[in-house]
Each structure stands twice: as structure tokens, then as C-alpha cells.
Structure 1
Amino acid sequence: MTDSKLKLSLFAIRFTLFLFFSVWAIEKFIKPETTVAIWKAFYLADTLPLQASYIIGIIQSIAVLCLLFGVARFWSYGFFLLIHGVGTVLTYERLLDPYTGSNHLFAAAIPVFGALVALFLLRDEDTLFTIGNRK
């Protein structure tokens, strides 16, 4: 694979992950009650206040912009790898039973996790349209 194809491929992964995670970041502001419900169902946080959704949304929005522009790649890519990995593990029951209800939608987490692993491992090669951290 040529260097330019690798860089373009990594940018494609980074950009599509940005789009994917932006949906969740924006949701924190426009439907904060969904964040509270998700945390209650999956993270056992029965008392998460509605205002916490906005704080989580701000953090996630900053992180998603860092992801888009390749800023602090070890930390920004690692952040999404960690939170998505934890979220995926916490939904293991739905992954093990994909044909009940809409559980099959949780299977989308698996290739997203794979893309995050690849992007994290190849972060030093990911320099197309990035800010800082150039090789």
C-alpha cells in the first residue's frame, strides 16, 4: 500500500468515526433525558442529574473535535477507544442475544471498536488533515 493510500484510509476512518461519535455528543444537548436513561440502564447511575448530560456533552464535543483534527492523537483516539470499549463490554448481554428486540443494532459497536483499534495503533501514520503531532 502506498503511503498516500494509507493516509487517506486513516483519514476516512477518522472522519467517519467523527460523524458517528458526533451523533452521541449532540444528543447530550438536544435530548439530555436520553443520556440519563442510558446511564441508568447501562452504567448503573440511578442518580445522574439532567445537567450532567451537558457536562458530558461538552467533554465529548471537545474530544470529537480533537478526533476530527487529529489533535493529541494518543489521548483523543485513546479516549474514544476506552469509552467505546467500556460501552461495548457493558452491552455484552445484548451482543450475546442479537435476535431479541432490536439487540442486533448493538452489533454495530464491534466494527466501530475495530476501527478505533486500527486508528489508535496507526496514529503515527495518520497525518492527513491533522493539526500538530506531525511525523
Structure 2
Amino acid sequence: MPKLRLPLLLTRLSIFYFLLPWQLMRFMSPGAADGIAKKYYHMPGLNETVGYAIGAFWIILLIAFLLGFKKRISYGLVFLLHTGAIFVVLPAYIMGTDNFNQLFLAAIPAAAAMGLLYALRDQDTLLSLK
């Protein structure tokens, strides 16, 4: 399906660009990342080392994802981890609740794009490692 190659590449690039700033924040502003973990994920204070380790894991994963390396694993993990994060903070997505945050809604179509890219991973061959 040659017509899918460019749209799939653009989807992969868009997802990478969507997720990367959140991981860079772990290094540039560890306090902000810690605050997000406390407020939305109800995690006790993460020390900087844990935040850096999570950020390093995600950046390595995102680079593999960007390169199309080990698609079943990299695309699958990006999709599962992102979608899992949506369910962890589900009240933030429900209109009418005190926790509703309209900005969080951007994560839903992003998750759908990740799922679509995972489903079509074998057709995603443009600028992609085998």
C-alpha cells in the first residue's frame, strides 16, 4: 500500500513530537515532572533519580519509535503506556467533574493515532528500520 507510507511516517513524526516535550521536562524541570506525578498520578514524590530514569527510558523508547525500530515492541509500548496513562487519570477527561481538564483531551486522538500506527506497522516503511 504505497499510498499509506507518507501518512504513516507523518503520524509517527507527529506522535514523537507530541510526546517528546513531556520527557524532556523530566530533565529540564524535574520539580514540574514531580508535581504532575503527585497531582495526576497520585504518586508520592519521585526523587530526581527516578524521574531521570523514567525520562531516559521514554527517550530511548521514543527514538526507537521514531526510527521504526522493533515496531511491535516500540509502537506497542508507546501505545500501551500512553493509553494506560489516560485511564489512570480518567476523571480529568470527564466533563462536569472537578478534575476535568480540557487540555487532556488531546491525549485521546493521540492514543487513537498510536493504535492505528500499531495496527498498520507493517505498512509503515518510509524512513523506517526493519
Q: Same fold (TM over 0.5)?
A: yes
The question of whether the paired residues in 2 share the 8 Å contact of 1:39 and 1:45 is answered with yes
The question of whether the paired residues in 2 share the 8 Å contact of 1:7 and 1:125 is answered with yes
- Hey, what does 1:79 align to over in structure 2? 77
1: CA distance, partners of 2:3 / 2:97: 38
C-alpha RMSD over aligned residues:
1.7
1: CA distance, partners of 2:120 / 2:35: 35
2: CA distance, partners of 1:67 / 1:49: 27
1:11 counterpart = 2:9: yes
Shift in Å, 1:43 = 2.6
| Matched residue type, 1:58 | A
Q: Deviations over 1:67-112 (max 9, x none)?
A: 1100010111111111111111122111112686871111101100
| CA distance 1:93–1:99, shift in 2 (3 Å) | closer
Give the number of aligned pairs. 130
Stretches (4+) displaced over 4 A: 98-102
2: CA distance, partners of 1:98 / 1:38: 21
Alignment of 1:84-103 (within 5 A): 84-97=82-95, 103=101
1:116 counterpart = 2:119: no
The question of whether the paired residues in 2 share the 8 Å contact of 1:98 and 1:107 is answered with no
Alignment of 1:57-68 (within 5 A): 57-68=55-66
| CA distance 1:98–1:84, shift in 2 (3 Å) | farther
Relative contact order, higher structure (CA 8 A, sep 6+): 2
2: CA distance, partners of 1:101 / 1:86: 18
- Hey, what does 1:106 align to over in structure 2? 104
Overall identity of the aligned pairs, in %: 31
Gaps of 5+ in 1: none
2: CA distance, partners of 1:128 / 1:62: 20
| Matched residue type, 2:112 | G
Q: 1:52 aligns with which of 45, 50, 53?
A: 50
The question of whether the paired residues in 2 share the 8 Å contact of 1:81 and 1:117 is answered with yes
Q: Answer with 109-118 or 22-31: which moved more.
A: 22-31
Shift in Å, 1:27 = 0.9
The question of whether the paired residues in 2 share the 8 Å contact of 1:91 and 1:106 is answered with no
- Hey, what does 2:18 align to over in structure 1? 20
Q: TM-score, normalised by structure 1?
A: 0.88
